[in-house]
Amino acid sequence: MTTIYYHIEKQKWFQCEVENGLNFGKTDTIVPFVGSSPEQGLPFSVKKDGNKVGPIIGILTGSSKDNTFIGNLAGLKRILLSLQQNGALGIVITPLSIREWSVEAFTFYQPLQTWIKLRTPLPSAVYNRIPYRHMEESQDFMDVVSFCKTNDIPFFNPYFFSKWEVYQMLKENDVIHPFLPETTLLKDKNDLNEMLIKHQILYLKSSTGHKGIDLYRIKAFKHGVIVETPHGKQSYPTLTSFWEKYKDGLVKTDYLLQKAVQADTYEGKRYDLRLLCHYHKNGHFISGIGVRVEGENGVTTHVPNGGSIIPFELVRDRFDKATLQTLVYEIGKSLMNKTGEFIGEYSVDLGRSEDGHIFIYEINSKPMVFDEPQIREKGLENLTKLLIMKAKTT
């Protein structure tokens, strides 16, 4: 480890150890030598490998109206501090941060327990934590992605996943295909009617939905249909009456029809697993497994919508860990092959049917921070190693 200094007013980096200077950032920008520690310089402890220090890791999030940034501050701070503890300089950037040879960024400065603004050389890797889908549709975001590719800066994860696109990718994998519940894209009422006749119970979910938002469970019965959401349920005398009420919203956005699995239960309640997965050397591996149990409404297991958490140990004997690991490896391989992008992390929602068959429900490219401390810490450890590894291989 070595120490470099940042002068906030001059927006300059200095160091006091190597007279010929040290290389910093993607383009090996020189950190010049000064004879003694600058009086107003903030010290940063970074790893030194030969004549190179760092690396610099950029965490990309959304721009705010006051020219700072938006995002999960606590989550960003956790990542920044973990990078610092491992000798890297973690910085928060936005789509407006990047200049031709430098970036205007923010970091959490631990000694002062405060956020500071600073200018750094180009990062050696960029981690995409843009918080909202609509922000990834902006020209500014697209320009950042293009800039990183042009300058050979590793960029991951590439974007929010579409549930429909992911399903189409995964069903082509012969290992994964048997673990996918039948799913189709909703185009008109006939699609809904045919799937409901075939399966009796369906999930209707937005291809871009999350946290159980825009989720319906539809049950056919002899006097019509029952439609349940995380907020309640309602019956309709016919499928047509439901369709006429909701069709404008359903056809305007891609919605999926997915067979509802007769799920295994724990103490009478349906549950599913959340697998946190990270890339390591030659493939993706499981960093942790959480369990979510359905809430009172029974439609979703998401905690924000009434679900609860139990330890994986309570259902561990119902799952073959080797099978889960194989699925994670194959999912990661398929996603990277089909998208042509580096997928550093993702999470998998999967469940077990009453007869013991595993079903993959969906894949998320930007996993939420897990509530379980051991999963949260292991995930952060693996993410930190991965970010530094990607930065050092460019």
Which pairing describes strands 345-352 and 308-310: parallel, antiparallel, or unpaired? unpaired
Tens-level pLDDT at each residue, the chain (394 residues): 999 999 999 999 999 999 999 999 999 999 999 877 667 789 999 999 999 999 999 999 999 988 899 999 999 999 999 999 999 999 999 999 988 889 999 999 999 999 999 999 999 999 999 999 999 999 999 999 999 999 999 998 999 999 999 999 999 999 999 999 999 999 999 999 999 999 999 999 989 877 667 788 999 987 889 998 877 889 999 999 999 998 888 887 889 999 999 999 999 999 999 999 999 988 999 999 999 998 776 677 666 666 789 999 999 999 999 999 999 999 999 999 999 999 999 999 999 999 999 999 999 999 988 999 999 999 999 999 999 999 987 5
Q: Specify the pTM.
A: 0.92
Residues 6+ apart with CB under 8 A from 267: none
Beta pairing partners, 118? 105
Instruction: Give residue limits of the domains in the chain.
Output: 2-156, 163-179+263-365, 183-259
163-179+263-365, superfamily in CATH? ATP-grasp fold, B domain (3.30.470.20)
**Cα-to-chain-centroid distance, residue 22:** 34
Between CA 233 and CA 229 the distance in angstroms is 6
Among residues 50, 48, 91, the alpha carbon closest in space to that of 71 is found at 91
Domain range 2-156, CATH class: alpha beta
Between CA 276 and CA 365 the distance in angstroms is 10
